[in-house]
Amino acid sequence: MTSSKNEILQRIRQANTSQVTGVRTQSTLIRMAPVGDTEPRMDHDDLVKLFIERVEDYRSTMVEIGPNELASAFEKVLKGIEAREGFDTICVAPPLLHLFNKTVAGYKVANPDQLTLTDYNSKVLGTLSGCAIGLATSGTIIFNSSDDEAPGISTLVPDHLFVVINESQIVQDIVGAITSFDLGRPLTMVSGPSATSDIELARVEGVHGPRNLTVFVVRQ
């Protein structure tokens, strides 16, 4: 027990002493994750295909689009959703607002700054947001509170989450993610829609976040 405790404390000391502006260096993190670091690298097209397969495995909806097709593809997806009464608003991350007028598919388009928690619970069907990166091997989408994303409250409370990810943002695994973006920001990792099981192993959706996830992969 003592040796294990000492090893853990030693790792903490090493991480703290190698910090640069609050972020651990790449070498420290890779030493702590040797499995990902030793996996063979994949061709980028194969990475994208694997990411799509993994996300679909989580019962998510995948939509592959071209660089200028997000607005029309998003409208088409919204038209296929049967919304609950009163849910007439779509929250759109500020960098994507220019793609829409005041409405899309009959829904009001709202800036997250205009919405309250009550709005998210009573009238916001879902949120359209960018993300930081995608992990192909696990189908995980990582948010890091960047300017490209909607605020955390808007991506966790509504029933639907719509995520836009460029194929250039897809990496193989967590080691690739570590070397690709700032770990000094708060991170949220999403692997499919919110789902858990009760004591009888009955699947329950929407407890910890949106029960529906749609991912738009922008191909170049």
**Domain positions in the chain:** 1-32, 36-218
Cα separation values, 191 from 39, 69, 137, 142, Å: 21, 25, 11, 9
φ, ψ dihedrals at 52, nearest 5°: -60, -45
Please check the confidence at residue 213 and state whether its pLDDT lies above 80.
Answer: yes
Mean pLDDT of 97-126: 95
C-beta atoms surrounding 15 within 10 Å: 14
Residues 6 or more apart whose CB falls under 8 angstroms from that of 47 comprise 136, 170, 171, 172
pLDDT at 202: 76
Distance CA 78, CA 216 (A): 13
Band (pLDDT 50/70/90 cuts) for residue 26 is: very low
Please check the confidence at residue 179 and state whether its pLDDT lies above 90.
Answer: no
Homologous superfamily of 36-218: NagB/RpiA/CoA transferase-like (3.40.50.10420)
SS3 content of the chain, % helix, strand, coil (to 5): 35, 25, 40
Please check the confidence at residue 32 and state whether its pLDDT lies above 60.
Answer: no
Distance CA 92, CA 90 (A): 6
pLDDT at 39: 60
φ, ψ dihedrals at 126, nearest 5°: -170, 180
174 closest CA partner among 152, 191, 151, 156:
191
Is the model's pTM score more than 0.75?
A: yes
